[in-house]
Amino acid sequence: MADRKKRLLQGNEACVEGAIYAGCRFYAGYPITPSTEVAEGMSVRLPKLGGKFIQMEDEIGGIAAALGGSLAGLKSLTATSGPGFSLKQECIGYACLAEIPLVIVNVMRGGPSTGYPTGPSQSDIMQAKWGTHGDHPVIAVTPSTVPEILSETIRAFNLSEKYRTPVIVLYDEILGHMREPVELPEKGDIEVIDRAKPECKPEEYFPYDDRFLVAPLAPFGEGYRFHVTGLNHKQDGFPTNDSKVIDRNNRRIMEKVDLNREEIWKNEETMLEDAEVAIFTVGSTARSARFAVNELRKAGVKAGLLRPLTIWPFPDRAVAELAKKVKTIIVPEMNLGQMYHEVERCAKGNCAVEGLFRVDGEPITPAQIMQTVKKYS
């Protein structure tokens, strides 16, 4: 049984398996290194399951088609990397305001511009939060192993369906192309959440019924006629200039995430009970950090690791509590300080916060982390 379920998968292949397990049956996108294997895998798997795959003419068309697939009732996925993620931002904002479930995979590479297509980076942490226009809810999950890419992709679909919002799966090139053994879950092993559908008569249905924090969503084509727009809208989906309605709706879509942070947050803590120096990082850099912590402990240095699997909403509480216990938090990241400032904000001066940044297309090594920790321990 164990042999039958285990596979040696690339990270991008694990993403495909997670999406299929979660019930994804529509993929639209455009190939871009280092995420292309997600599209390739979905193009093979979906037709065999009665799903649909379409390669669009560009990144904007890819996410727009995926939004259409979701509105038609199919769990939908699109995948990209940094420059393509930039192009998708207007449609991500549209999905936030129109409350369309969607999962967006961003396999990060170096930048800016078209950058370093085959080099790893964590360049899009802030783009995931602030890339699109206006105030909007953001959920982004950050796996650091190939098995986690599978499980976090499933969780991303669950969060997207539950809260009617786009969810980002954010990992880097190293993880996308790394291979690790993955035990494939069988049906029922992991919870799968589907969006709530209306129970009322079609003539009584409002797609943005503000009696609900998250209103039921009817698929197009099943008798529930309604309007979808990227403009501020009334409960029936048609545009409005009523300032009270606009205010109420904008606050409600933010509250979907803000009021459910405890359920959305997910962190891993390693040896933090007596730590004097803590490391805060995500993705492949967390693998180096975990190795570094183990080696530092052997050398008598009280180091620990706080690894968020949800980077947005940012784990404010976990960082604030950690800052009261340790002398220093080290933030290694393959960028020039995107998470660092968030950690500093949450620490509120209760401990020192130091960054370790690398942007040369190479990963941060355990030795670099160990050297930095020893400097501040």
Spatial neighbors of 190 by CB under 8 A, at least 6 apart, are: 21, 151, 154
If asked whether residues 278 and 133 sit together in one domain, one would say no
Distant-in-sequence contacts of 208-214, Cβ < 8 A, 24+ apart: 208/99, 208/233, 208/234, 208/235, 208/236, 208/237, 208/249, 209/235, 210/235, 210/248, 210/249, 210/252, 213/252, 213/255, 213/256, 213/259, 214/99, 214/162, 214/163, 214/164, 214/256
Q: What is the pLDDT of residues 82-102, one digit of tens each?
A: 999 999 999 999 999 999 999
Helix axes 11-22, 36-48, angle to 10 degrees: 40
Using DSSP, state whether 203 is helix, strand or coil: helix
How many domains, in total, are found in the chain?
2
Helix (H) or strand (E) holding 141: strand 139-141
Confidence class of residue 38 from pLDDT cuts 50, 70 and 90? very high
Phi, psi of 291 (to 5 degrees): -65, -45
In a domain, 10, yes or no: yes
What percentage of the chain exceeds 90 in pLDDT? 97
Q: Is residue 6 part of a domain?
A: yes
| Bridge pairing between strands 179-183 and 352-357 | unpaired
Three-state SS at 88:
coil
Per the prediction, the chain carries an average pLDDT of: 96
Does residue 192 fall inside a structural domain? no
Residue 94 domain-assigned (yes or no):
yes
> What is the reported pLDDT for 3?
55
Same domain for 76 and 173? yes
Last residue of a domain, one of 183, 203, 224: 183
| Residue 4, pLDDT score | 61
Give yes or no: residues 165 and 281 share one domain: no
Average pLDDT over residues 149-156: 98
Length of the chain: 377
Q: What is the pLDDT of residue 90?
A: 97
Could you say which of 165, 183, 201 is where a domain stops?
Answer: 183
204 inside domain: no
**Whole-number Å distance between alpha carbons of 88 and 111:** 16
Q: Are residues 301 and 155 in the same domain?
A: no
* pLDDT greater than 60 at residue 51: yes
Which of these three, 144, 160, 183, is where a domain ends?
183
CATH number for the domain including 280?
Answer: 3.40.50.920
Q: How confident is the model at residue 187 (pLDDT cuts 50, 70, 90)?
A: very high
- Give the structural domain span for 110: 2-183
When pLDDT is averaged across residues 177-190 and rounded to a whole number, the result is: 96
**Under 8 Å CB-to-CB from 244, ≥6 apart: which residues?**
none
Indicate which CATH number applies to the domain containing 71.
3.40.50.970
pLDDT at 22: 98
- Between the alpha carbon of residue 21 and those of residues 72, 88, 151, 342, the distances in Å are 19, 25, 9, 34
Q: Do 284 and 144 fall within a single domain?
A: no
Q: Residue range 65-76: average pLDDT?
A: 98
Percentage of the chain with pLDDT > 70? 99
The pLDDT score that the predictor gives to residue 5 is: 81
Q: What tens digit of pLDDT does each residue of 314-372 get?
A: 999 999 999 999 999 999 999 999 999 999 999 999 999 999 999 999 999 999 999 99
> What pLDDT was estimated at residue 296?
98
**Residue-level pLDDT at 1:** 45
* 126 in a structural domain: yes
The rounded distance, in Å, linking the Cα atoms of 170 and 20 is: 18
302 CB neighbour count, 10 Å cutoff:
19
pTM of the predicted model as reported, rounded to 2 decimal places: 0.97
- Shared domain for 275 and 128, answered yes or no, is no
> In this structure, are 144 and 282 located in the same domain?
no
Instruction: Name the least confident of 3-7, 79-83, 268-272.
Output: 3-7
Quote the pLDDT of residue 377: 81
Cα–Cα distance for residue pair 70/194, rounded to 1 Å? 12
Q: Determine, yes or no, domain membership for 225.
A: no
Residue 66 belongs to some domain of the structure: yes
